[in-house]
Amino acid sequence: MPGPAAPTTRLPTSSCDLSRGRWVREARPATYYTNETCATIPESKNCFYHGRRDKGFLNWRWRPYGCEVPRFDPNMFLEMVRGKTMAFVGDSVARNHFDSLLCLLSQAEKPDDVYKDKEDRFRRWRFPGHDFTLRMLWSKFLVYGEEKPANNTFPGGNYLYFDRLDDKWAGELPGTDIVVISSGHWFFRPINLYDGSNKIGCVYCNEPNVTSYGPEYAIRLAFRAALRHINEECHGCEGMLTLLRTFSPAHFENGTWDTGGSCPRTKPRGDKGVRSKWTYEMGFRDRQVEEVRKVGEEGMGKGKRFGVVDVTEASVMRPDGHPNGFWGNKWMRGYNDCVHWCLPGPIDSWNEMLMEVLRREIIA
């Protein structure tokens, strides 16, 4: 159910920047489901099931400067996407976002589980009452990649080829109406960068006569390749709306994921100095947005639309929203999860922003 109307002194939502704002505390939870009312929450994101006791982190809503983001309305969302297919493309954080939307929409209509691959990475759910299909298309890097062991000829690590996309997701795009594309954290590891057979550099390496770049360079090239494929090469993608969901930060403190880092906070950070203190994360966001703007200008004459669901600044302020140790750590004992997000949790606000972006696009 939508919340109270915004004060008349605030701007209409369509007039403001959804990405800049602060978190405000409310007396009631800002979430729309619980881990008991949503049956599709992956076990590793079900923080309350695994023992998290504090619930105050659920009572915060994102408020952009000068306007309100309407509360998520699953019935309205389903009406906006009636007869359409929406696909989320990306890594496990993209899947986290997908699962949040699935929970939100299931409060209005129970979906049918149509397809799951053996690794549970490619998923398809259908809402028959609205003729709406929701898909998850897994891809770590968006472009074609290989993982090779070290030998006398090649250093170990990942090999990315920016002249080729990951066909597992790209081949599934035709006929899709709305695509939400994202990726990020897999780029923080040694990567060898190629354009065809030409090595153009590497990330986190120390090779003679090879240019070493930071992860932001590889992220830019990957999104450039993916967006240009959609704009220029994807047959059957006419009229498609592509939305880039911006970089989602991790919040490890006192170490990294493999050195004992954790994220024990229970409330948001304030909005002061976010961009000056989190320049690294905001830099990734800026590069992603630049690529969307470039391809968006090119796509206007091709019947394709591009936009942004800009969650980075809002997410930077939510170190309290991760599973931390409450994720049923069966696979990597002793490690905390400060990358993904609890369900329910702050990630649900991404879908409030998504709904508002879709509303603006439909009105346009």
pLDDT in tens for each of the 364 residues of the chain? 334 333 334 455 666 899 999 999 999 888 899 999 999 999 999 999 999 999 999 999 999 999 989 999 999 999 999 999 999 999 999 999 999 999 999 999 999 999 999 999 999 999 999 999 999 999 999 999 998 876 655 556 899 999 999 999 999 999 999 999 999 999 999 999 999 999 999 999 888 899 999 999 999 999 999 999 999 999 999 899 999 999 999 999 999 988 999 999 999 999 888 888 889 899 999 999 999 999 988 766 677 899 999 999 999 999 999 999 999 976 666 799 999 999 999 999 999 999 999 999 876 5
pLDDT of residue 271: 87
Cβ contact 161:144 at 8 Å: yes
Query: What is the Cα 140 distance to its own chain's centre?
Result: 12
SS3 content of the chain, % helix, strand, coil (to 5): 30, 20, 50
Q: What residues make up the domain containing 110?
A: 13-139+168-184+215-363
Given the residues 99, 166, 320, 337, the one annotated as active site: 337
Beta bridge mates, 148:
157
Extended strands (E) in the chain:
21-25, 60-64, 85-90, 112-116, 123-127, 132-138, 143-148, 157-165, 178-181, 191-195, 198-203, 212-213, 241-245, 305-309
341 vs 263: CA distance, rounded Å: 11
The reply to whether 192 falls in a domain is: no
The reply to whether 261 falls in a domain is: yes
The reply to whether 2 falls in a domain is: no
105 vs 78: CA distance, rounded Å: 7
139 assigned to active site: no
The reply to whether 154 falls in a domain is: no
pLDDT of residue 9: 42
Cα–Cα nearest to 62, from 101, 22, 6: 22
Buried (b) or exposed (e) across 218-257, using 16+ Cβ within 10 A?
bbbbbbbbbbbbbbeebeebeebbbbbbbbbbbbbeeeeb
Cα–Cα nearest to 105, from 80, 139, 140: 80
Question: What are the two backbone dihedrals, phi and then psi, of residue 135, each rounded to the nearest 5 degrees?
Answer: -125, 150
Total count of domains within the chain: 1
Given the residues 91, 248, 340, 348, the one annotated as active site: 340
pLDDT of residue 350: 98
pLDDT of residue 150: 67
The reply to whether 5 falls in a domain is: no
92 assigned to active site: yes
The reply to whether 130 falls in a domain is: yes
Which pair of tokens denotes residue 230? 């959609």
The reply to whether 162 falls in a domain is: no
The reply to whether 30 falls in a domain is: yes
Question: What are the two backbone dihedrals, phi and then psi, of residue 185, each rounded to the nearest 5 degrees?
Answer: -75, -20
pLDDT of residue 288: 96
Given the residues 19, 44, 50, 92, the one annotated as active site: 92
For position 240, which CATH number holds? 3.40.50.1110
**What type of residue sits at position 3?**
G
Cβ contact 45:92 at 8 Å: no
Using a cut of 0.75, tell me whether the model's pTM lies above it: yes
Name the CA radius of gyration of the chain, rounded: 20
